[in-house]
Amino acid sequence: MKEIRLHGRGGQGVVKASQIVVRAAVAGGKNGQFIPFFGVERKGSPVFGYLRISEEPIRRKMQVYEPEILVIMDDSLVGLPATYAGLKDGGIVVINSTKTAAELGVPANAGEVAIVDASGIAEELIGRNIPNTAMLGAFAKASGLVDKDVLFAEIEKAFGAVNRTAAERAYRETVVANR
pLDDT score at 85 = 95
Q: In whole angstroms, what is the distance from residue 78 CA to residue 157 CA? A: 31
From the list 77, 21, 28, the residue with the least C-alpha distance to 51 is: 21
Instruction: Tell me the average pLDDT across 10-14.
Output: 86
pLDDT tens digits along 56-108: 999 988 889 999 999 999 999 998 888 999 999 999 999 999 999 989 999 99
Is the CB of residue 130 less than 8 Å from the CB of residue 12? yes
pLDDT score at 79 = 87
Is the CB of residue 46 less than 8 Å from the CB of residue 59? no
Residue 132: count of CB within 10 angstroms of its CB? 27
pLDDT tens digits along 138-153: 999 999 999 999 999 9
Compute the radius of gyration of the chain from its Cα atoms. 15
From the list 104, 133, 107, 131, the residue with the least C-alpha distance to 117 is: 131
Burial of 123 per CB tally in 10 Å (0-12, 13-18, 19+): middle
Buried b (16+ CB within 10 A) or exposed e, 139-177: bbbbbebbbbebbbebbbeebeeebbbbbbbbbebbeee
Task: Kindly give the interhelix angle for 161-173 and 148-159, rounded to the nearest 10 degrees.
Answer: 150
Q: Which one is predicted more confidently, 15 or 55?
A: 55
Instruction: Tell me the average pLDDT across 51-60.
Output: 94
pLDDT score at 81 = 84
Is the CB of residue 47 less than 8 Å from the CB of residue 15? yes
Q: Where residue 109 falls among pLDDT bands split at 50, 70, 90? A: very high
| Residue 20 pLDDT exceeds 70 | yes
pLDDT score at 147 = 95
Q: Which one is predicted more confidently, 49 or 90?
A: 90
Residue 126: count of CB within 10 angstroms of its CB? 18
Answer left, alpha or beta for residue 130, where phi above 0 means left and psi between -120 and 50 means alpha. Answer: beta
Q: Where residue 42 falls among pLDDT bands split at 50, 70, 90? A: low
